DNA sequence: ACCATAACTGTCCGATCGGTCAGAACTGAC
DNA sequence: GTCAGTTCTGACCGATCGGACAGTTATGGT
């Protein structure tokens, strides 16, 4: 063997990203990555100081891209600020989809696992949020609200008292769904 | 020792929920839970058939509540459907905050960890999405969009081609932020 | 051809994990 | 007090993990 160092490193990173995105970080062992990349586990640790360093190297480009975006919008304000930030953020997440997915597959695996089959319920919730519509705009907005409420509830940021938080979450969600109050 | 069975079970579930919410499911060992609950690891496995069963018992109430919500809105349609679903979903996530948090702490720990300190960047992004406003409605909406875009990008649901997905994500996000197009 | 260096590997290690099991400790009914 | 049944535990097990290290193999400059 003994390919060029950068080639092997690239192969390792590629394998790691794919496996992390399927089984999660903790759910993927160094041996798994080594087997997939076609080298020994010891070779991994020759190229990378440790398992965490592999993860760091995988996530750094996304991090840097986010930092760049924030720099770019630092001087803006008002409507331009929000528009540029949203557009940039969306593009960024789409570009680094696999990296984001690896952060979530721990959850996904946990949800699919065991008796409680959450995925079926999640699809039901998605349908209801989309108002039973199958059209793409409604479905995308439904996904957005699904994730938005989920994450916002999980935050411990103390951004607002619970009553305010609840009211604003509902209003914001309905706006995202393009819902005209009846 | 030798308390009543249900008391010990309750103590174990309480400890497990708290520890899972701090260190994640995989990041919490049976020994951790046992120490926190004030019993031996073997005692855990007397009350619960395995580690996964503890998680199942913790998440089942939330799952059942979601199923109940979906049943309740099953007969509705149009505006009422969307309103009831959103309100119910928000209430549900707020009620089961700790359970949701435990699903996320794997991510949180991973993000805070290592060199790349993502949290500072996330706060910057949050500020920009909120249009630099410190008011609660803007901050809540910013959190919503942060999570919405993140999760929607991570999905592999093939809900729409990437160009459509991108456009709808941006539109939906701007609506959630109550942004009036300039 | 030679050799310093880079690339790579087999093997071992300590730690930790979830889980088992035989038996001790406790409990309430009688 | 006795005893059956419940509750609990220390000790142990096999598996797996991330990592260390000495030694082997390939590479490129001379």
| Low-confidence winner among A61-65, A97-101, A156-160, B1-5 (lowest mean pLDDT) | B1-5
Which residues of chain B lie closer than 8 angstroms to A103, CB-CB?
A: 107, 110-111, 154
Confidence of residue A2 (pLDDT cuts 50, 70, 90): low
Residue A139 lies in a domain: yes
Confidence of residue B2 (pLDDT cuts 50, 70, 90): low
Q: Are both B16 and B76 inside the same structural domain?
A: yes
Mutate to test the interface with A, among B111, B147, B160, B180 (most CBs of A within 10 A): B147
Q: Are both B24 and B75 inside the same structural domain?
A: yes
Range of the domain at B16: 5-87
Residues 42-71 of A with CB under 7 A from strand D: 42, 45, 50-52
Quick one: DSSP state of residue A96?
A: T
Inter-residue contact A111 to B170 (CB < 8 Å): no
Tell me the per-residue pLDDT of B34-43, one tens digit each, with 9 for 90 and over: 999 999 999 9
Residue A77 lies in a domain: no
Strand D: list positions under 7 Å from protein Cβ: 6-11, 16-22, 25-27
Q: How many domains does chain B have?
A: 2
The pLDDT of residue B3 is 67
For residues A160 and B95, give the distance between their C-alpha atoms in angstroms, rounded to a whole number.
16
Q: Are both B78 and B151 inside the same structural domain?
A: no
Residue among A110, A12, A56 nearest B110 (CA): A56
Residue B93 lies in a domain: no
Residue A164 lies in a domain: yes
The pLDDT of residue B109 is 76
Residue B103 lies in a domain: no
For residues B159 and A135, give the distance between their C-alpha atoms in angstroms, rounded to a whole number.
9
- A&B contacts, CB < 8 Å: 292
By C-alpha to C1' distance, D8 is nearest to B43
CB contact under 8 A, A154 and B104: yes
Whose structure tokens read 């120490």?
B35
Residue A138 lies in a domain: yes
Residue B18 lies in a domain: yes
Report CA B71 to chain centroid distance, whole Å.
Answer: 22
Is the per-residue pLDDT at A143 higher than 70? yes
For residues B2 and B147, give the distance between their C-alpha atoms in angstroms, rounded to a whole number.
45
* Dihedral in degrees, nearest 10, Cα atoms B151, B156, B162, B168: -40
Tell me the per-residue pLDDT of A26-71, one tens digit each, with 9 for 90 and over: 999 999 999 999 999 999 999 999 999 999 999 999 999 999 999 9
Q: Are both B79 and B132 inside the same structural domain?
A: no
Closest approach of B43 to chain A, Cα-based (Å): 22
Last residue of a domain, one of B87, B106, B131: B87
What is the average per-residue pLDDT within A114-142?
92
Q: Are both B19 and B74 inside the same structural domain?
A: yes
| Low-confidence winner among A3-7, A129-133, A176-180, B166-170 (lowest mean pLDDT) | A3-7
CATH value at residue B46: 1.10.357.10
Q: Is B64 helix (H, G, I), strand (E, B) or coil?
A: helix
Residue A6 lies in a domain: no
Closest partner CB to A107 (pick from B85, B103, B137): B103
Q: Is B61 helix (H, G, I), strand (E, B) or coil?
A: helix
Element holding A55 (H helix, E strand): helix A51-72
Closest approach of A111 to chain B, Cα-based (Å): 9
């Amino acid at each position: 063997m003994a390919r060029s160092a950068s080639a092997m490193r690239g192969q390792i990173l590629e394998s790691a990203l794919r496996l992390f995105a399927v089984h999660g970080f903790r759910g993927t062992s160094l041996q798994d990555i080594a087997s997939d990349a076609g080298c020994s586990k010891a070779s991994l640790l020759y190229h990378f100081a440790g398992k965490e360093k592999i993860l760091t190297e995988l996530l750094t480009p996304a991090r840097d891209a986010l930092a760049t975006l924030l720099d770019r919008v630092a001087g803006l304000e008002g409507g331009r600020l929000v528009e540029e930030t949203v557009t940039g953020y969306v593009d960024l997440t789409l570009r680094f989809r696999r990296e984001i997915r690896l952060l979530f597959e721990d959850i996904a695996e946990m949800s699919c696992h065991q008796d409680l089959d959450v995925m079926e319920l999640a699809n039901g919730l998605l349908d209801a949020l989309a108002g039973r519509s199958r059209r793409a705009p409604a479905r995308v907005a439904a996904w957005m609200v699904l994730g938005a409420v989920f994450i916002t509830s999980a935050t411990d940021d103390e951004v607002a008292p619970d009553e305010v938080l609840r009211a604003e979450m509902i209003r914001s969600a309905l706006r995202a769904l393009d819902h005209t109050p009846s």
